[in-house]
């Protein structure tokens, strides 16, 4: 390589390294703001004040979904396996809302473990399965998330170990 080309190559590579470093530092500083949601453990450890708006994310604890037959009021527990927060929501739940499924609720705490949501989103995980496979897993004793609409009387099982 000629000296000019070598010089140019080093110039561009060091430029790239510099920009990467700057972005990495900025990202590190903004870490908390880049979190789209807080897990129940985060809520406890960060001591988020009641009334402050944030997004709560976790899995819907199996067997905790209750619906008021007269209104759109729904309540369920959101867990990350360590901490659990009770959520109340008035409105239409997304289609994929299910027990054991990930969920993100936007709203505020009314007490330490009580959360009122204005908005609920279902968080999809990265697993794609054919219905027959899901049925087979179910029969083999592995709990698979189920849509609320076609669920039998809720059975209480342990939540999935992975959070989201």
DSSP letter string, 50-111: TT-EEEEEEEEPTT--EE-SSSSEEEEEEE-SS-EEEEEEESPPPTT-EETSEEEEEEEEEE
Q: Are 87 and 75 in contact (CB under 8 A)?
A: yes
Smallest gap from Cβ 63 to other proteins, in A, equals 19
Interatomic CA distance for residues 136 and 132, integer angstroms: 6
Query: Which region among 10-18, 65-73, 81-89, 109-117 touches other proteins (by CB under 8 A)?
Result: 10-18
25 binds other proteins (CB under 8 A): no
Per DSSP, what are the bridge partners of residue 85?
A: 78
Q: Which of 14, 25, 27, 46 binds other proteins (CB under 8 A)?
A: 27
109 binds other proteins (CB under 8 A): no
Q: Cβ closer to other proteins: 8 or 66?
A: 8
Question: Per-residue string for binding with other proteins, 57-86, x by CB under 8 A?
Answer: x-----------------------------
Smallest gap from Cβ 37 to other proteins, in A, equals 5
């Amino acid at each position: 390589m000629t000296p000019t080309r070598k010089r140019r190559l080093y110039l561009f590579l060091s430029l790239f390294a510099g920009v990467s470093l700057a972005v990495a530092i900025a990202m590190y500083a903004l870490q908390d703001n880049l979190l789209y949601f807080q897990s129940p453990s985060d809520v406890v450890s960060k001591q988020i004040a009641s009334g402050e708006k944030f997004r709560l994310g976790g899995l819907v604890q199996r067997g905790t979904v209750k619906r008021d037959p007269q209104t759109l009021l729904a309540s369920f527990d959101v867990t990350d396996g360590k901490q659990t927060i009770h959520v109340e929501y008035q409105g239409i739940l997304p289609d994929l809302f299910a027990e054991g499924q990930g969920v993100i609720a936007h709203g505020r705490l009314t007490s330490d473990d009580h959360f009122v949501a204005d908005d609920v989103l279902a968080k999809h995980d990265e697993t794609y399965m054919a219905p027959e496979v899901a049925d087979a897993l179910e029969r083999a004793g592995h709990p698979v998330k189920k849509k609320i609409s076609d669920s039998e009387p809720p059975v209480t099982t342990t939540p999935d170990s992975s959070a989201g």
